[in-house]
Amino acid sequence: MPLATQLRKEHGTMKKHVVFALLITLVWVVRAPASALPVELTVRAKALVTDLAEGRIDAVTAQLDARMRSALTADKLTQAWAQLQEQAGPFDSVGQARLTSAGQHSTVVVDCAFAKAHIDARIVYDRTGKVAGLRFVPHREALPEHVAVLPAGLTERTVTVGHAPWELPGTLTLPSGSGPFPAIVLIAGSGPVDRDETIGPNKVFRDLAWGLARRGIAVLRYDKRTNAHPVACAEQPSFTLDDETVDDARAAVRLLAHTEHVDHHEIFILGHSLGGMAAPRIAEGNPLIAGIVIMAGNVRPLQDLLLDQTLYLAGLDHELTPAEKQQIAQLRAARAQIDDPKLAATDTVTILGAKMPASYWLFFRRYHPDRVAAHLSIPMLILQGGRDFQVQRGDFELWRAALSGHDNVTFKLYPDLNHLFMPGQGPSSPEEYMHPGHVDSRVIEDIAAWILRHCVTAT
């Protein structure tokens, strides 16, 4: 999903599609569980939004935990609120507040009405009652809901990927019959994504899982580590792509290799977006993996993609606001810091007000997915949507340049599909993600046919 916060247009035409996030990655600021009563938390959350709207910034910052205060100063908070109103219109009122999760951490979602859109403020509380996370997302209740039923003949069961302290809840979808079936692990993109890779009303990985299972392929999907263990991830001083994605994907492959009804010689992996970038590293030196599918995988590092996304979205109406110019300048400064040879693993990098360990960014200096992929002999299928503004066609061409002439690699471009591999027309934007859709059937058919064609035991 976009690294910038997405807004859904509700009334009229919003001047911009790009909206400025208070924090681009909540994993770095989420802390610990809350012990306050749910009713108390919902009241406090509504009061916090009211304080923010009425300019009582000191009252808001007083509620933040130490890490949040460091990442989000009073000036940054004031600026972010002003930028939010620039995009969504003047603030109007606070609506209902609901507690959406409890246990490891408690999150209160507050419905905020602006002149042009309804926005949800998601406020995370730690066990002491301090605010440990704050971000604004599209209003979920305003989105059309899917009523999804597992297709006839398929079965699903809950599984656990990995071991303590990083065990992850997952879902294994099995085709009709007794197998053994070829199988595939789905590896999600950036952010604290759930096993369905839920983006607005859309569930990319559920679509893939059900579609592939209907074609005879077992599918394993699981919650990302940053989704299941945000507190522990935030406390890691040297967090990298291996911690976020690679290690857990390898654990998922090992799980399939010991799962009944799965053909242990025909285990594939599919990475979407950042997961696609990680796929060659996951497969490198791993004899259990029979092939790789890369969907909209980036070759370039994330700091370049983040800047490109922002420039694209800011330019949709051919006009840059002062706030957008400021954000672009901040991103360029962050990229310069990341590219600075003097950056040490123990440093922190500030991107749009969020402090992240430099280790995360330094990892991409030494990891070049196209070069790793060039040394792999297993089959690879690389897919790209022509309307993708997050991982743009230039990255697809980088894959093609690095792997052209390799008989084990197949490329496929879908001109009318976006980053979610859903169809549309004209320039893509985050608003498009807020409309319910499904992964295009052509993509599912192509992946299934490719897997079955490369199964050694296929008849």
Please tell me whether residues 394 and 257 are part of one structural domain: yes
Q: Among residues 365, 224, 235, which one has the least CA distance to residue 302?
A: 365
Spot the catalytic one: 194, 388, 395, 440: 388
Please tell me whether residues 246 and 285 are part of one structural domain: yes
Residues 136 and 5 sit within 8 Å (Cβ to Cβ): yes
| Per-residue pLDDT of the chain in tens (459 residues, 90 and over written 9) | 333 333 323 322 333 333 333 333 333 333 333 344 555 678 888 889 999 999 999 989 988 888 888 878 888 888 888 888 888 889 999 888 887 665 556 788 889 999 888 888 988 887 667 888 888 877 775 445 556 899 999 999 999 999 999 999 999 999 999 989 999 999 999 888 899 998 878 999 999 999 999 999 999 999 999 888 877 887 788 899 999 999 999 999 999 999 999 999 999 999 999 999 999 999 999 999 999 999 999 999 988 998 898 888 888 878 887 877 888 898 899 999 999 999 999 898 887 666 788 999 999 999 999 999 999 999 999 999 999 999 999 999 999 999 999 999 999 999 999 999 999 999 988 878 878 899 999 999 999 999 999 986 543
Spot the catalytic one: 17, 118, 419, 438: 419
Spot the catalytic one: 273, 359, 428, 429: 273
Please tell me whether residues 329 and 382 are part of one structural domain: no
Q: Could you give the CA distance from residue 389 to residue 401 in angstroms, rounded to a whole number?
A: 20
Q: Among residues 28, 26, 8, which one has the least CA distance to residue 17?
A: 8
Please tell me whether residues 58 and 204 are part of one structural domain: no
Of 120, 142, 164, the position where a domain reaches its end is 142
Domain contains 76: yes
Please tell me whether residues 169 and 294 are part of one structural domain: yes
Its domain, for residue 349, covers 305-357
Q: Could you give the CA distance from residue 224 to residue 373 in angstroms, rounded to a whole number?
A: 23
Q: Give the number of other Cβ atoms within 10 Å of residue 189's Cβ.
A: 27
pLDDT value at residue 3: 34
Q: Could you give the CA distance from residue 264 to residue 227 in angstroms, rounded to a whole number?
A: 28
Domain contains 458: no
Please tell me whether residues 345 and 396 are part of one structural domain: no
Domain contains 10: no
35 an active-site residue?
Answer: no
Sign of CA dihedral 300, 304, 305, 306: positive
388 an active-site residue?
Answer: yes
For residue 135, the surrounding DSSP H or E stretch is strand 131-138
Q: Which residue has the tokens 């192509």?
A: 446
Q: Among residues 367, 339, 327, 403, which one has the least CA distance to residue 16?
A: 327
Q: Could you give the CA distance from residue 378 to residue 284 in angstroms, rounded to a whole number?
A: 10
pLDDT value at residue 417: 98
Q: Give the number of other Cβ atoms within 10 Å of residue 218's Cβ.
A: 26
Please tell me whether residues 245 and 321 are part of one structural domain: no
Domain contains 101: yes
pLDDT value at residue 42: 81
The domain that holds 100 is classified in CATH as 3.10.450.590
Residues 111 and 141 sit within 8 Å (Cβ to Cβ): yes
Please tell me whether residues 317 and 196 are part of one structural domain: no
Please tell me whether residues 332 and 388 are part of one structural domain: no
CB within 8 Å of 133: residues ≥ 6 apart: 23, 26, 29, 30, 31, 68, 105, 107, 122, 123, 124
Please tell me whether residues 105 and 186 are part of one structural domain: no
Please tell me whether residues 224 and 123 are part of one structural domain: no
Please state the domain count of the chain. Answer: 3
Domain contains 82: yes
Domain contains 433: yes
Domain contains 13: no
Of 115, 142, 169, the position where a domain reaches its end is 142
Domain contains 385: yes
pLDDT value at residue 22: 31
pLDDT value at residue 16: 39
106 an active-site residue?
Answer: no
Of 142, 167, 196, the position where a domain reaches its end is 142
Please tell me whether residues 161 and 248 are part of one structural domain: yes
